[in-house]
Each structure stands twice: as C-alpha cells, then as structure tokens.
Structure 1
C-alpha cells in the first residue's frame, strides 16, 4: 500500500505540477501578447505549450520514478528510464524547433510590416522558409543521434565505426551527390536572390508562379493550376526567365496580320481608345507600328504595358479582340483576304485574249 501510495503521489504530483506550469506560462504569454501587440512572438510561443508540458512531465518522471518503490517498476528500471529519456529527447527537439520557428516567424512578420517593397519581402520569406527547414532537419538529426546513443549496443557500434568514418564519409558523399547538390543549390537560391516565393517565372516553356521552395525541390503553380515540381539545382544550372526580378511591371506585344490597305492611323487611334477604357492598363506607354510586310499582308505590332504579368495578359487579349472586331465591322477590307477561286492556266488566258480581240475587230 505504501508503494502504491508513492506511485500515485509521484504520478499525480508530476501531472499537477505540469498542468500548473503550463497554465502559468500560458497566462504570462497572454499578458505579454496583450502588452506588445506590435509583435506576434508571444502568441506564436503559446503554440509550444504542449511540447513544454511533455518535456516537464518527462523530466519530473525521469528524476523521480526510482522513488516510487513499486516492484514492477524497480525490476524494469533501466527500460523505464530509457523510455523516459527517449520521450524527453523527442519533446525537447519539438520544443526547440517550435521556439526557433516562432522567433524566426516573428522577425519576418515585423520586417514584412515595416517594408513596402514586395520583392524584398518575398526574398526574406524565401530565406526564412529555408532557414526554418534547415534548423528542423539539424535538430531532428541531432535528436535521432541522441536517442540512438541511449542504447548501449549503438554506443559501442558508434565507437567501433570511428576508425572507418573517413571511408564511409567518402562513400556517402558520392552516393548523395545529387542530394547535396540540391541542398547547396537551395542555399544559393535563398541567399543569392535568384528566385523567390511569389516570383513569376518561365521554366521548361511553362509560365507560372513560384509557390514553394524547399531544400531539394521547387514548386511552380502554372496559370491552369497545375504544379511543376523541379529540383532546385535546375535553377542554378540552366537559364530561366524571372519576370518579377527588378520589378513586376511588364511590356507586351500584340501582332496582327492585315491587308496592305489597312488604315494604320485609324488603328492607332482605336488602340489608344481601347487602352484608355481598359482598367488593367497602367498608363505607362503604348505604341502601334507596321513592323513587317509580306506579299499578301502587313504585320502590325501594338505595344502595351501593365503592372504585372496577369494584367498584361488581360490587356493583350482585350486589344487583340476589340481591334479585330472593330476592323471586321468598320474596315472589313483591311483584314487578310485569301483567294480560293479557280485560276486559269496560261493557254486559257491567251485564248480569252485572242477571242476578245477578234470580237473588237
């Protein structure tokens, strides 16, 4: 009865202390968040409460489980201690990742609030995302190694493998060459400002927006909601178009094939009228000129501008549709004409000319 009472005392006291500490920490974070509304740090730290409570409970039980004097627990003291150590290491890693992520996210949120340049905000967001992923991976690897070291067999194995660590490192480096290449390419993208989250890019002939960047791959969302997943090394070894670098304002063209008799001056006035009525046009500039000729048509090019790629696409479509409709209604002869009637050969033409000359005489 004494041992059972000790067991209940240790378990109940640990649970009660854990709940009380979690409640107290949450109250303190709530007050800090209310006093410092300019930063989301304290509210983000409240998400770490479960990890903190598990760490505290595991630490209390790890230090007091031998005092229970419960025979089944005493017989398996080594196993119980190892289980509690594993729980403590795992929860500690979870807590470290949560606190670090909260600090990084808070810093990014404050930077994004005080910065008006969208390009800088996307660049910092890309760096923050990769830093968080790297930190999570490092903490996870260290936690896994610490868990393995709690087992005596793995500890002896690790000591015996130190002599062959050089050879194993070389073999692992060769085997993971592609993975390591993508890893370093991810750092190069994050801190080299080559491509950022939210950038409009053209890769492999596809136009889309960078949606996600990890340590090994990059996801591009195309205009039709498809996702193109590519290794990050692609962006460090091959050329690609980044329409958002240096500003998101863009200039586009609209090409039309018209008859040689097309009223170019009137078309120029019509394009100006269309653009003034189009709200996606940013007003920076426009132009219309004949850029080429063929034996049957002329090539008319209209230049338009917009604040980003989406609006530019809308402006180009509006100019193309309305200009063609206006030509078809007001100047149908200006559209290209294709002759589909039968053509007489040279003998028939000669006979027709001779017959006409005879009739005139």
Structure 2
C-alpha cells in the first residue's frame, strides 16, 4: 500500500478532527464574545436610572451563555466535514439547543418586563384596588404567554426531526376520528384555559381579594390558568378550580373597595337602657384604632318573649380590622352591661300561681 492510499483512507478522519476543532473554536470565540458583550451591557445598565436595563441584563445572562456560542457554531456549520448521518444528528442537536435557548430568552424577558411593571403597583398598601387589578391581569396573561412560548418551542423542536415531522403530518391527515376524540378529551382543559382568560379580563376575583368560598374566609393568594389558591385565615390553603368562580356564587368583600361594615348582635333583657348602650358604643368606637370613623349605630332589631336583640353597626378600613373591631365592641359592651346593668342580662322569668296556700300545698294537709 503506497503513501497516497494511506492518506486517502485517513483523510475523512483528519477532516472530522479539523471539524471538531472548528466547533470547539467557534464555541470558545462565542464564549469570549458573550463575556465581553455582557460586561459592556452590565456597565451600560449601571449608568442608566431605569430598572429594566438591570433586570434584562441579569435575566439574559443564562440564555446568553447558550445562544452566543451556538450562533458562532451555526455560522461555521456549512464548513464542517462530517459523515452525512453524523452531520444530520449534529444539526438537529444544534437546532434543538438554539430553539430551547431562544425560548429561555423569551421567558426571561417576559419575567423581567412583568417584574418591572408590577413593582410600580404595591399590593401591601391599604387602598390597593388598582394594584390588585394590575397584578391579576399581568400574572394571568404572563402564564398564558408562557404556555404559548412552550407550545411553539416544543413544536419547533419536533419539526427539526424529519421522521417525527412525517409521522405528525400523517397522523393529522388521517386521524379525523382521533381528532374528534381528542377534542372531547381536551374540552375541559380548553374550558379551563378559556376560564383563566375570562378571569383575567372580567376579574370577578383579583390577587389579595377577600372572599368567602365554601364557607371559608380567606384571601386570593394565587391565580393560575387552572386553579386559584385561597389563603384561609388560619393559614390553610384552599385550592379551587378556576371554573368554580365562573359557575358558582361566592362572596367578594373587596370587589369595589376594601372598607366594610361590621355588626355585633347582643341579646338582653327588656330592662336594658338602650340609649346608655348607644353612648357606650360611641365611646368604645372613638377609642379604637380599628374604627375608620365613618359608620356607627345601635338599634333594636328584634324582640322575643324572652329577650331583646340589639345590633351594633360599625365600619372599618378592611375586613381584618372589621373582625378585630367587632370582637372588641362585643367584649366591651357585654362588660359594660355586666358591670352597670347586671339585671338586664338575659333571664328566664317564671311566675307560680295557686289557689292552695303554700304550706298546705307542701304538707298536703291543713296546718290547723
């Protein structure tokens, strides 16, 4: 075997080694470009006053480590000398990695814009109606956008493989019955997705709304495309399907505003001085930090054969303060009645009447 034949046999191996070196060199150059580019971007973001620049640079770092080297590898891909089957696999891997990195970049960009937008609306303040509206809309729309990005990225990845693409086209062309079955199977999922979009637009509930669901008092903690998390007052979490809020009635205490009226019911004897209780209620409310100073009053709402029902009405800035105020008023009014008018507490009266003298009734005979 002469030298020319030996060189001809090892020529493909030499081309593969050169191609591998070219791939690693492109990746290394891309990594250096990434470092230099993000160093400049970080320096530029530090000079500006906007928070968007810093947030974008911070969230673009991860995808940039993947995308920039891949871009350089894609540029040198036409010059690679690999066997056809190896080259096909390499191109598929590069395409899948690039699509995944691009989807990663879009997701992080979405999060950066969301955080910047939501930071302008603080839900921890007392009058947070507008903030809760914005948080609810943005969070639901971001979740929808993430689903769209994921579906498009996954479909694009599958389309890079010829065999999978052909199988998918064949199934779509010949699966009329399967499509109908799949449509019925996905009906509830589609209804849930549409319900999530409808919640974001119509907003019967918002983040941090106070609601009564299934007899439980709590606040809306999280709204997703499929379910809603309600934080109960004792820190339990009630997970409710999102369609529940469109199909069943529920109470929303902060639909228009956070302020709310609270009531306290007292049951007393008929002898209680109502006017004195009204004055005591005014004194208690004026000395309480939970009262917002808008509404107060005490009226007789019912009377039975045994007791009288009194209703104390008061207002508070939110439901939490209203609960504390009701407990405070109930405790102090009962104590006021106990200390000053103990005879006016609820009691059961009985009157004994008889034509027979008491002694005779007890002894069973006439004492004379």
Band of TM-score, shorter chain:
0.7 to 0.9
Q: In the alignment, which residue of structure 2 is the partner of 1:18?
A: 31
2:350 is aligned with 1:350? no
Q: In 1, distance between residues paired with 2:163 and 2:20? A: 31
**Which is further off, 298-307 or 17-26?**
17-26
Residues 1-361 of structure 1: matches in 2 within 5 Å? 7-8=20-21, 10-37=23-50, 40-46=51-57, 47-64=59-76, 67=79, 76-110=86-120, 118-164=128-174, 166-338=176-348, 349-352=354-357, 355=360
Change (3 A) 1:116 1:255: closer
Between the aligned partners of 2:171 and 2:302, the Cα distance in structure 1 is 73
Tell me the CA shift for residue 317 of structure 1. Answer: 0.3
User: TM-score, normalised to structure 1's length?
Assistant: 0.87
Give, in angstroms, the shift of residue 324 of structure 1: 0.9
Report the aligned-residue RMSD.
3.0
Q: TM-score normalised to the size of structure 2?
A: 0.85
Deviation (angstroms), 1:8: 4.3
Q: Distance in 1 between matches of 2:232 and 2:194?
A: 26
Structure 1 stretches (4+) deviating beyond 4 angstroms?
1-6, 65-69, 110-113, 353-356
User: Once the two structures are superposed, what CA deviation does each residue of 1:286-324 show, in whole Å capped at 9, x if it has no partner?
Assistant: 001111111111001100100000000000000001111
Q: Does the 8 Å CA contact 2:133/2:207 hold for their aligned counterparts?
A: yes
Question: Alpha-carbon deviation of 1:78?
Answer: 2.2
Do 1:105 and 1:128's aligned partners in 2 also have CA atoms closer than 8 Å?
Answer: no
SS at match of 1:300: strand
Contact 2:26/2:76 (8 A) holds in 1: no
Question: Contact 2:26/2:73 (CA < 8 Å) preserved in 1?
Answer: no
SS of 1:350's equivalent in the other structure is coil
**Structure 2: 5+ residue stretches without partners:** 1-13
Q: Is the 8 A contact 2:30 2:70 kept in 1?
A: no
Cα distance change of structure 1 residues 206 and 23 upon mapping to structure 2, 3 Å threshold: farther
Q: In structure 1, the residue corresponding to 2:356 is in which secondary structure?
A: helix
> Cα offset for 1:59?
2.8
Please, which moves more after superposition, 50-59 or 266-275?
A: 50-59
Distance 1:48 1:260, change over 3 A: same
CA gap 1:134/1:22 in 2 versus in 1, 3 angstroms: farther
The CA distance in 2 between the partners of 1:20 and 1:160, in whole Å, is 43
8 Å contact 1:249–1:308 — kept in the other structure? Answer: yes
